[in-house]
Amino acid sequence: MAEKPPQPTMDTIVSLCRRRGFVFPSSEIYGGLGSTFDYGHYGVLLKTNIRNQWLRAMVQERDDMVALDSAIILNPRVWEASGHVAGFNDPLVDCRTCKLRFRADKLDDAACGRKPSKRPGETPDCDLTDSRQFNLMFETHVGALQDGSSSAYLRPETAQGIFINFKNVLQIARRKPPFGIAQTGKSFRNEITPGNFLFRVREFEQMEMEFFVPPDDAPRWHEYWIAERLAWYRGLGLRDENLRVREHDEQERSHYSSATSDIEYRYPIGWQELEGVANRGSYDLTQHTDHSGTKLEYVGPDGERYTPHVIEPAVSIERIFVALLVDAYDEEVVAERKRVVLRLHPLVAPVKAAILPLVPRDEGMASRARTLYEELRRHHVVEHDDSGQIGRRYRRQDEIGTPWAFTIDEQTLEDETVTVRDRDSLAQERLPISGVREWLDEALQQDSPSPRSR
Amino acid sequence: MAEKPPQPTMDTIVSLCRRRGFVFPSSEIYGGLGSTFDYGHYGVLLKTNIRNQWLRAMVQERDDMVALDSAIILNPRVWEASGHVAGFNDPLVDCRTCKLRFRADKLDDAACGRKPSKRPGETPDCDLTDSRQFNLMFETHVGALQDGSSSAYLRPETAQGIFINFKNVLQIARRKPPFGIAQTGKSFRNEITPGNFLFRVREFEQMEMEFFVPPDDAPRWHEYWIAERLAWYRGLGLRDENLRVREHDEQERSHYSSATSDIEYRYPIGWQELEGVANRGSYDLTQHTDHSGTKLEYVGPDGERYTPHVIEPAVSIERIFVALLVDAYDEEVVAERKRVVLRLHPLVAPVKAAILPLVPRDEGMASRARTLYEELRRHHVVEHDDSGQIGRRYRRQDEIGTPWAFTIDEQTLEDETVTVRDRDSLAQERLPISGVREWLDEALQQDSPSPRSR
C-alpha cells in the first residue's frame, strides 16, 4: 500500500474556505442557521465545474443518456408511492434537561449538551425521552389549491422525479433499455444531526442517474457503473489511496436496494460515503405503476415486455467539493516561506489562469496585461491581479488552485513574450504573448479525460 | 416600425415543448400539480445555455463582479428584515360556490369556476369571501433545533442572500463600489393564480445581480444596466420589435424601489415583464443593518463611509426560455412540405450540430459518422442520428433548433468530405471531414457576442 500523505484537518479546510471566500456560514449576521452554508465566488466556480464535468461525462459524451430537471415540489403522492412518507425516518430522542436532540441510533457518537465528554444518557442529569420516528422530509403547504391548502414536500432525492418521467423519456426520446436519465439539483433533508462542514447538510445538490436495464443484465451493469464512477473520480485527480469501494451488508441496505456499493473517500473524519451505487431493482417503477395506475414498463417491437431494473449512481456536489479540497490541499516551504497550494485538477480549478503585470504602474506592462486578460476571459475563467508584490500575488493564486500564471515583465516590452508559471512545479518558461490563448486552450484540452469505452 | 412577424400562440409552444421533450407537466402520472413542470433533455440543455450565457456576460467577462450561491432556506429573520414576512402578500378571495381562489386585485382577468365566460362576482351563484392578505412565501419547519421545530421559509427571491453576504464579499473579495454580486438559483412563490405555461410558476430559477454603487451614481448606473441588459437580449437574437423598456409608475413600484424599469417582451399573451431593473436605493442594506446590528456600509481608505445604493437586474430563466422559443419559432413550406424550425441563436441552441450518415447500413458511412460524432462530442453537445430517411432527420433537428447538420454520404467515401447544412438558409456546402471540428469551433466563436464596453 502506498504511503498515505498527511491529510489536512477539516478545520484547516473550513478555514481556507472561509479565508478565500469559497464557503461562508449562511445568515451569519443573524447568528447563522445550523449547518447551512453560502458559497462565495470560488465556491460557485468549483461547484459549477464539478456539475459540468459530471454532466459532460454522464450525458454529453454518451449516447445512452438523456438529461432531466424535475420540480423540487412534486405531487405528494409521489412520496407515498416511493415509501418516503411512511419510511423515510430517523429515530429521535430529546433530552428534557439540555434540550438537545439526538439520533437514537447514533447516541454513541453524540455528546451530552452539559457534559460534552459524556454521551447522552451517561450523566445523571440526562432525561431522555423515548425514541420516536422523525420524518426527514421538509413539509410545506401549497396554498392556492381549490380545497384549501395542501401538504407537499421538498424532495429528499431527485431520483423520484426521474422515475415518474420514465414513460415520457421512453416515448419522446425514443429510448430502449439500456439507457439512463441524469439529473442534478437541490434536495432537502431535515437532518436531526447535521454537521462536519458540508458533509451532512439540510440542503444539498444531488447528481443522480437512473440507468434502466433488462432485469437479467442488472448485476453486470451494477459492476460497470461502480468501475465507471471510480474512474471518473480518478480522472478528476483524486488519489487512489483515498478511494475505496465498500459493499453494503444486508442490514445497511435501503428498503429498495438489492445491492449497494459505496465509493468511499478517506475524509479527515474517516472513510465515508462519497457516492452510492445502488441496484434498485424494479422497486420504484413497480411502486409508481401500482400507485398511479400507469404502467411503467418497456414494451419491445416484438411485444416483449418487462419492468426494467435500475442502477443508480448518486452523489452530492458537496461531498465531491470537500473531497477535492482535502485531496488537493498541500503546504510546503518554498524559498524559506510556507505556501499553501491547492493542487486541483485544471478541469475543476475555479480559475484557470492569472494574468499579472509585474510592475502595474508601468503603462506598457499594464496595457499588455489588460489586453491579454480581456482576450482570455472570453473563453475561460481567468483573473487579472495588479495589487501587491508579485510573490504575494502568486501565493494568492496558489491558495485557490490556479494552475497557471502569465506574467508580463520587462522582457515582454522588448520581445513580446510572457512567462508562464506552473502552480505545482513552480517551473517558469517563456512563450509569445500572441500564443498564450492557444497554449492555454491546449493545456486544458490535454487534461480532458478521454471518452470512456463502452 | 418594422412589420411584426406573426407569432406562434402559447399553445403552439406548449405543444412543441411537449412533443420534443423540452418540458413536461410535472407529476403527470399522478394528475399533475398545478402549473408545475419538469424539463426534459432539450429543456435542460436550453436552460443550461441561458444560465451559462448569463454567468459569462455578468461574471466571467467583467472584473467588477463576483458570483454567490446562497442557501434556499435562510435564517427566518432575513425575511423579517427584508419586509417579506409583513408585506409579501397578495389579496385573496375565495368563492364558496365554485371553491376557486382568485387574486382580489385581478378579478377582471379571472374566470368564474362555473361560467368561465363571466368573471367572479358576475353570476348570481358566486359567493365571494372578503378579501384577505395571503403571504406568498412557502413556510416549512426546520425540525431538529433545540427548542422544537422552527418556522422557516423557502426564499421568494435570491437577492436577500446577496445582501446578507455584502460584508463577506467586501472584505474577502477585496471589493469597493461600484461592484456587483451575481447569483442564479431556485426561488419559490406560492402564487394564487399561476399560469400561462412557464410564465408564472411556483418554483422558478432566478438570475439576479445586485450592483453596489456610491449613492450619487445610482441613477447613472440604473440607465447603464437597462441598456446593458437590453443589449444582452439582442445579442441572444431576440428581435427588436419584440423588446421594449417600460418605466414603472409610482403605484406599481415595490416598497423598496425608487425607480424600476421593465424590459418587456411581446409574449403571445401580450407585452409582459421579461426582466426588471430596479433601483433599490439603500433600502435592503439599511434594513439588514437595523435588524442584525451589523453595519453594512462601505468604509474607504480615507475614512469616507456610506451605505451603497443598489441597482438590480432580475430575471427568471423560465421567462427567457419562453421568449427565446416564441422568438425563434417559425413555420415554412420547403419543397411542398411544411417544416417547423426554431431559429435559435447557436449559443443557446440545445444541440450545436447533428452528425448524419446518409445510408446508415453502409459500413463506411456509419463508421465515419461515428468517429466524427465521438470527436465532436468531447467539445460540444452534438447528436448522432441514423434512424429514418434523411429528410425526416433534418426536420427533427430543425424542430429543436440545431444550427448545423453534417452529413456523411457517398462522396465522403471517395474524397473524405462531408456536407454541412445550414438550418436557416438550407444552404449546403462541402468541407473536409478532418476540418469539421475547427469549422464548428469557429462558427460558434463567431457568434459569441463581443465583450461589452465599460
Is B26 in contact with A74 (Cβ distance < 8 A)? yes
Distance CA B242, CA B1 (A): 11
Distance CA B8, CA B268 (A): 7
Chain A residue numbers with beta carbons less than 8 Å from the beta carbon of B159 are: none
Q: Tell me, what amino acid is at B284?
A: D
Per-residue pLDDT at B445? 85
Q: Could you tell me the pTM of the whole model?
A: 0.95
C-alpha to C-alpha distances, A424 to A46, A289, A346, nearest whole angstrom: 19, 54, 11
Q: Nearest chain A Cα to B77, which residue?
A: A30
Smallest CA-to-CA distance from A192 within A132, A256, A232 is with A132
Tell me which of A103 and A207 has the higher pLDDT: A207
In which band, very low, low, confident or very high, does the pLDDT at B223 lie, cut at 50, 70 and 90? very high
Mean pLDDT of A85-109: 88
Mean pLDDT of A395-411: 98
Is A378 in contact with B92 (Cβ distance < 8 A)? no
Is B27 in contact with A75 (Cβ distance < 8 A)? yes
Per-residue pLDDT at A145? 52
Is A47 in contact with B60 (Cβ distance < 8 A)? no
Is A34 in contact with B384 (Cβ distance < 8 A)? no
In which band, very low, low, confident or very high, does the pLDDT at B149 lie, cut at 50, 70 and 90? low
In which band, very low, low, confident or very high, does the pLDDT at B102 lie, cut at 50, 70 and 90? confident
Chain B residue numbers with beta carbons less than 8 Å from the beta carbon of A291 are: 30
**Mean per-residue pLDDT over chain B, rounded:** 92
Distance CA B387, CA A301 (A): 15
Lowest mean pLDDT segment, chosen from A144-153, A397-406, B161-170 = A144-153
Task: Please name the member of A28, A78, A143 whose beta carbon is closest to the beta carbon of B30.
Answer: A78
Mean pLDDT of A357-382: 97
**Mean per-residue pLDDT over chain A, rounded:** 92
Mean pLDDT of B80-99: 91
In which band, very low, low, confident or very high, does the pLDDT at A323 lie, cut at 50, 70 and 90? very high
Per-residue pLDDT at B225? 98
Tell me which of A146 and B269 has the higher pLDDT: B269
Mean pLDDT of B73-102: 91
Per-residue pLDDT at B452? 35
In which band, very low, low, confident or very high, does the pLDDT at B1 lie, cut at 50, 70 and 90? very low
Tell me which of A49 and A252 has the higher pLDDT: A49
Q: Quick check: B393 pLDDT over 90?
A: yes
Q: Quick check: A147 pLDDT over 60?
A: no
For chain B, percent helix, then strand, then coil, each to nearest 5?
35, 30, 40
Q: Quick check: B2 pLDDT over 50?
A: no
C-alpha to C-alpha distances, B58 to A361, B64, B211, nearest whole angstrom: 28, 9, 11
In which band, very low, low, confident or very high, does the pLDDT at A364 lie, cut at 50, 70 and 90? very high
Task: Please name the member of B24, B72, B451 whose beta carbon is closest to the beta carbon of A203.
Answer: B72
Per the structure block, which three cell numbers stand in for B278?
Answer: 430596479
* Burial classification of residue B212, based on how many CB atoms lie within 10 Å of its CB (0-12 exposed, 13-18 middle, 19 or more buried): buried
Per-residue pLDDT at B205? 98
Mean pLDDT of A71-82: 96
Smallest CA-to-CA distance from B73 within B143, B149, B161, B144 is with B161
Q: Backbone dihedral region of A121: left (phi > 0), alpha (psi from -120 to 50 degrees) or beta? A: left
What is the per-residue pLDDT across B349-377, written as a single tens digit (0 to 9) for each?
A: 999 999 999 999 999 999 999 999 999 99
Q: Quick check: A3 pLDDT over 70?
A: no
Q: Quick check: A134 pLDDT over 50?
A: yes
In which band, very low, low, confident or very high, does the pLDDT at B56 lie, cut at 50, 70 and 90? very high
In which band, very low, low, confident or very high, does the pLDDT at B253 lie, cut at 50, 70 and 90? confident
Lowest mean pLDDT segment, chosen from A215-219, B332-336, B345-349 = B332-336
Per-residue pLDDT at B204? 97
- HSE-CB of A259 using CA atoms within 13 angstroms: 14
Chain A residue numbers with beta carbons less than 8 Å from the beta carbon of B134 are: 143-144
Per-residue pLDDT at A450? 42
Is B61 in contact with A378 (Cβ distance < 8 A)? yes
Q: Quick check: A453 pLDDT over 50?
A: no
Helices B317-328, B41-55: axis angle to 10 degrees equals 110
In which band, very low, low, confident or very high, does the pLDDT at B450 lie, cut at 50, 70 and 90? very low
Chain A residue numbers with beta carbons less than 8 Å from the beta carbon of B19 are: 172
Distance CA A267, CA B55 (A): 32
Task: Please name the member of A28, A75, A451 whose beta carbon is closest to the beta carbon of B374.
Answer: A451
Mean pLDDT of B419-439: 97
Per-residue pLDDT at B144? 58
Per-residue pLDDT at B306? 97
Is A186 in contact with B190 (Cβ distance < 8 A)? no
Task: Please name the member of A71, A191, A288 whose beta carbon is closest to the beta carbon of B29.
Answer: A288
What is the per-residue pLDDT across B176-220, written as a single tens digit (0 to 9) for each?
A: 999 999 999 999 999 888 888 999 999 999 999 999 999 999 999
Mean pLDDT of B232-256: 91
Per-residue pLDDT at A212? 98
Distance CA A409, CA B152 (A): 54
Smallest CA-to-CA distance from B29 within A78, A413, A119 is with A78
Number of neighbours of residue A200 by Cβ within 10 angstroms? 17
Q: Nearest chain B Cα to A450, which residue?
A: B378
